[in-house]
């Protein structure tokens, strides 16, 4: 499966009277590697949710491979969500379940109902999960409880889950905010590696630009709900970054 091509045209999102995103025009090609940067509250999370089709747009439209989300049937929306995977600070962990179950959860959505039912008593795909966990560096934790893992390990579980579901669009929402510098660098590298291996699109939202520069080739600066700049990562100057953060309403 190829990663989706996403086209946002004139997308806005309001929460009550507050505008989280305003008139965003954006195009994301399959296999692109993007970092979303910008101060807190600038609209990064909202943008990620819109991309995953877990939030409605207030106006404008998002097309996935040419098909607008607003026109999709519930089945199509589910299929789109299936191609996406989210890694965040660790809230994605399913509590009280094993690491194995947490990884399997990525592919549960593709199963027929009877297989889902059966999975409550039987364990499927043990080898596949083991391989994925090995890939993300959690080889020996398959049968531990996921909610007892550390922050970095939780992210790895999320990544493994994304891989299990064969996600073509890996979205990361400030994945390293709660991690120490070494761990966070490892996690970002891991995401970069696995997406590259699979030709998947990667969108990371973060404040820590320096950490992601090595893994992405496009930077999108978001400020006050608008695209502030959108260019190749090696062309972005420190001044631009400075301006992105300093001119924000939040700071003012």
Partner 1 sequence: MNAPSSRTAVRSASVAFLLLIAIWHSGFAATLLWDSEGLASFGDVLAGFGSPDFSGSFLSRIKTLAIESFLIGVLGTALALLVASFLAIAAAEIPGLEDDPAHSPSRVFTRHLLRVCARGILTFFRSIPEIIWAYLFVRIFGLGPGPAVFAIGITFGGIIGKLFAELIEAADPAPARHLRATGAGSVAVFVYGVLPLVRRQWVAYTIFRLECAIRSASILGVVGAGGLGQEIDLSMRYFQYDKLATALLAVFAYVVVLEIAGIYLRKIRPAWPVACLVFASILALFHLDIPWHELTSAESLKQAKAFLSGFAHPTTTWPFIKNALHLVLLTVSMAWVATIIAAVLAFVLAPMAATTFTVRGYLVDAPRGRGWFQWAFLLVLVPLRLTLQVTRALPELVWALLFIVWVGPGVTAGILALTVHTFGILGRLYSDVFEEAEPAPARTLEASGAGPLARYLCGVLPQVMPRMLAFTLFRFEVNVRAAAMLGFVGAGGLGDALHTAISLFHMNDLAALLLVSLAVIVIIDSIGDWLRMRLIRG
**Comparison of 71 and 182: residue with beta carbon closer to partner 1:** 71
Rounded distance between C-alpha atoms, residue 214 and residue 157, angstroms: 23
**Contact set for partner 1, span 163-202 (CB under 8 A):** 165, 167
**Comparison of 97 and 131: residue with beta carbon closer to partner 1:** 97
Within 8 A by CB and 6+ apart from 222, the residues are 36, 37, 38, 42, 43, 44, 47, 228
Q: How far is CA 60 from the centre of its chain?
A: 22
Q: Which two tokens stand for residue 243?
A: 């301006």
43 binds partner 1 (CB under 8 A): no
CA-based radius of gyration for the chain: 18
How many residues does the structure list for the chain?
A: 252
40 binds partner 1 (CB under 8 A): no
Stretch that binds partner 1, among 68-76, 148-156, 186-194, 223-231 (CB under 8 A): 68-76
89 binds partner 1 (CB under 8 A): no
H or E stretch at 6: strand 6-15
Rounded distance between C-alpha atoms, residue 20 and residue 223, angstroms: 10
Smallest distance from partner 1 to CB 69, Å? 5
235 binds partner 1 (CB under 8 A): no
Stretch that binds partner 1, among 1-9, 32-40, 91-99, 148-156 (CB under 8 A): 91-99
Smallest distance from partner 1 to CB 70, Å? 7
Rounded distance between C-alpha atoms, residue 7 and residue 16, angstroms: 25
**Comparison of 104 and 241: residue with beta carbon closer to partner 1:** 104
Q: Which two tokens stand for residue 71?
A: 């026109």
230 binds partner 1 (CB under 8 A): no
100 binds partner 1 (CB under 8 A): yes
63 binds partner 1 (CB under 8 A): no
Rounded distance between C-alpha atoms, residue 78 and residue 206, angstroms: 27
37 binds partner 1 (CB under 8 A): no
Q: Which two tokens stand for residue 80?
A: 């789109």
Bin 119: left if φ > 0, else alpha if -120 < ψ < 50, else beta: alpha
123 binds partner 1 (CB under 8 A): yes
Among the listed residues 109, 150, 235, 247, the single contact to partner 1 using CB under 8 A:
109
Per CB under 8 A, residues contacting partner 1 are 52-56, 69-86, 91-98, 100-101, 104-106, 108-111, 113, 116-117, 119-123, 142-143, 161, 165, 167
């Amino acid at each position: 499966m190829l990663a989706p091509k996403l086209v946002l045209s004139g997308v806005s999102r309001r929460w009550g009277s507050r505008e989280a995103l305003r008139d965003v025009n954006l195009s994301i090609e399959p296999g692109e590697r993007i970092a979303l940067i910008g101060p807190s509250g600038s609209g990064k999370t909202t943008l990620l949710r819109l991309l995953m089709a877990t939030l409605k747009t207030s106006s404008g439209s998002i097309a996935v491979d040419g098909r607008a989300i607003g026109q999709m049937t519930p089945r199509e929306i589910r299929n789109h969500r299936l191609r996406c995977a989210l890694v965040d600070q660790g809230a994605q962990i399913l509590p009280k379940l094993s690491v194995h179950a947490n990884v399997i959860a990525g592919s549960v959505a593709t199963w027929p109902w009877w297989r889902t039912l059966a999975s409550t008593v039987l364990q499927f795909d043990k080898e596949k999960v083991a391989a994925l966990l090995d890939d993300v560096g959690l080889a020996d934790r398959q049968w531990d409880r996921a909610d007892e893992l550390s922050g970095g390990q939780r992210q790895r579980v999320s990544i493994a889950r994304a891989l299990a579901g064969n996600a073509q669009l890996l979205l990361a929402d400030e994945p390293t905010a709660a991690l120490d510098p070494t761990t966070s660098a490892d996690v970002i590298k891991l995401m970069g590696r696995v997406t590259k291996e699979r030709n998947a699109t990667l969108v990371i939202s973060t404040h820590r630009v320096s950490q992601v520069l090595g893994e992405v080739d496009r930077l999108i600066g978001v400020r006050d709900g608008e695209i502030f700049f959108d260019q190749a990562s090696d062309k972005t100057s420190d001044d631009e970054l400075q301006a992105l953060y300093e001119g924000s309403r939040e700071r003012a």
